[in-house]
Amino acid sequence: MNRALKEGADALGVPGPDKRQVGRAFTRAAAGYDAVAHLQREVGDALLENLPRLELSPERLLDVGAGTGYCTRKLLQRFPGASLTALDLAHGMLLQCRAGSSEGRSLSFVCGEAESLPLRGACMDLLVSNLALQWCQELPAALAEFRRVLRPGGVQAFSTFGPATLQELREAWARVDGHSHVLEFPAARQVAAALAVAGFREVSVQSRLRVVTYASVEALMRELKGLGASNRSPGRPRHLVGKRAMGAMIEAYAERSEGGRIPASFEIIHAYARRF
Ligand SMILES: C[S@@+](CC[C@H](N)C(=O)[O-])C[C@H]1O[C@@H](n2cnc3c(N)ncnc32)[C@H](O)[C@@H]1O
């Protein structure tokens, strides 16, 4: 195997967030998620828009980390004859997904983890995952599972966050303490390497920076909480973050404000690949 590829993929073996806590945080956020998930919908639209180029006519589809089902419903509209499985770690998200989906469609719901899919091998033609993989403990484990459940020739398309995501928040916290308050995200080249190592071909990975502005640091923090995106990184502080530390972080972050708004960067990675 190409050494650079292997090193890129190995670098992703770093443990990610605690899964039970991730599931609980997303279940708590499920009811209010849609009201704040603007960026998630925008990224999902872009992810699905690029699918036609892959000349697909899938019959069996899987949405990994389906959440409240925005992409699930779009996929059903796009491929009306197909049967679709919506899978998520958070039971509360799946309930919300089911409540928002019309009856009688060929849609099933599975509570499970991307890194250990409770599905038989080679049973899917198309696998889609929008902004869920950044929560996985190990991206290579999830990609190995994606390959296992896809039939030969099947396609996977996912989006995830890259390293520049929330860099302003990361830098503001770095001025306050030595803890990790923001998850570590893989670079596009590492994602591409991990896909190649997992046995995908026709790999296409793009990254772009999207800067969103907020009325205040508190507004950004409220939105992250509403999305279920609380800090679950292994290096997070084990104690509650005190008011003083939070205040210092907000002050440091607010120094970046321009025209009364603060910027928050999101590096969006889109990845497409075919299983062979
Ligand atoms: C930011 S939401 C995205 C939801 C949806 N795909 C969308 O575009 O709105 C991330 C989702 O991934 C789920 N998730 C996180 N880690 C997961 C894992 N290891 N396996 C399966 N789902 C996971 C969460 O429960 C949550 O519903």
In the chain the domains, ranked by start, together with CATH numbers, are: 3-163+184-210+267-275 (3.40.50.150)
**pLDDT recorded at residue 137:** 80
Q: Across all residues in the chain, what is the average pLDDT? A: 89
The rounded Å distance from CA 256 to ligand 1 centre is 30
If you average pLDDT over residues 62-86, what whole number do you get? Answer: 96
Share of the chain above pLDDT 90, in %: 75
**Ligand 1, pocket-test mutation among 63, 89, 110, most atoms within 8 A of CB:** 89
User: Are 271 and 204 a contacting pair, CB within 8 Å?
Assistant: yes
Residue 118 pLDDT exceeds 80? yes
> How many angstroms separate the CA atoms of 270 and 207, rounded?
6
User: Three-state DSSP class for 267?
Assistant: strand
The rounded Å distance from CA 114 to ligand 1 centre is 9
Phi, psi of 128, rounded to the nearest 5 degrees:
-125, 145
Pairing of strands 83-88, 60-64: parallel
> How many angstroms separate the CA atoms of 87 and 108, rounded?
9
> How many angstroms separate the CA atoms of 96 and 66, rounded?
10
67 lines ligand 1 (CB under 6 A): yes
If you average pLDDT over residues 193-215, what whole number do you get? Answer: 97
**Ligand 1, pocket-test mutation among 21, 24, 26, most atoms within 8 A of CB:** 26
Distances (CA, A) of 185 to 45, 67, 227: 21, 20, 17
Assign 14 a pLDDT band (cuts: 50, 70, 90): very low
The rounded Å distance from CA 26 to ligand 1 centre is 8
What tokens were used for 273? Answer: 């690949």
